[in-house]
Amino acid sequence: MDGKIALEEHFAIAETLSDSKLPIFYHVWDDMEARLMEFDGKVLHRMDACGVEIMIVSLNAPAVQAISDPADAVAVARKANDALAEMIAKRPDRYRGFAALPLQDPQAACKELERCMHDLDFVGSLVNGYSTAPDGSALYYDLPHYEPFWALSEQLSAPFYLHPRNSVEAALGNYDGHRWMLGAAWGFAQETSVHALRLMGSGLFDRHPALQMILGHLGENLPYGLWRIDNCNAWRRTPGEFVHHAARPITDYFGNNVWITTSGNFSSQALLAAMSIIGSDRIMFSADWPFEDLQQATDWFDAAPISDVDRFKIGQANARKLFAV
């Protein structure tokens, strides 16, 4: 299928490049480094070969979110966004951008989001999970002081992509001796799904009904647990923390506020299950370049056992509707 739009595709700047140099990539690091740092003709040729018309590009992870000094986070986010804008300006017909945001400082994040949407013509933001506070603790975005950020995102019609990172080190004891589960294998989805549920369960989308959130990797395992999540909350009557604060079942938000992408999860069975639960109107194609192979992603998607109508929706129409590209 030609004309696909891919929207979890990454680049790096010098200050964030080392975040991606993980042991699992050591044997291919030279190639990976080049792919992260240079969006040149090679990437366009690869896009052409794979039928990808537009890449919506974002900073690698955890990058800005891992910087504990708020001032440094602000500076790196601004530098990354300027570098991305320069790249897009060379081929605005093929590249668009997600803003990197220093959510360690909500006020500064609002200012940067506004700049990116108005001045740089970005299409939304992508944030790599919780932000690291100066004391090393995790800042989750259901905290009250993030309310102005959510209000601005809604006002600007700026979709928010909640991208993964591993849990804080202090919470990783259950991975001892089994660190192979960290990252894309399991840890990313576990951390991101909890964060997403915190946001939904806080009543975020009741307060901001037009706000849109995106989850990668076919929903970080959440679509397949929605029935159980809602069923448990339906019969609980104990006041306090054991009942979420949202006005509606969590499943409802997947029909109105939450989108998922195929990034890094090229399973036809999982795609069909997601379509049966949340519908093809809330799913978008992505690859997770360069951490996943673009050719593998597109070969799988183009041959997936879905109708041509659904393939067109997921491959490009849903993204065009959400981002107006």
Look at residues 122, 134, 131 and name the one whose alpha carbon lies nearest to residue 162: 131
The answer to whether residues 97 and 116 touch, using CB atoms and an 8 Å cutoff, is yes
The answer to whether residues 125 and 89 touch, using CB atoms and an 8 Å cutoff, is no
Q: Which residues contact 259 (CB under 8 A, 6 or more apart)?
A: 159, 212, 213, 214, 215, 282, 283, 284, 318, 322
CA distance 85 to 97: 7
Look at residues 32, 88, 29 and name the one whose alpha carbon lies nearest to residue 58: 88
CA distance 131 to 104: 6
Radius of gyration of the chain (CA): 19
The catalytically annotated residue of 119, 135, 230, 288 is 288
CA distance 42 to 25: 20
How many Cβ atoms are within 10 Å of 137's Cβ, its own excluded?
13
Look at residues 316, 188, 205 and name the one whose alpha carbon lies nearest to residue 251: 205
Query: What's the token pair of residue 67?
Result: 């910087």
288 is catalytic: yes
Active site residues: 288
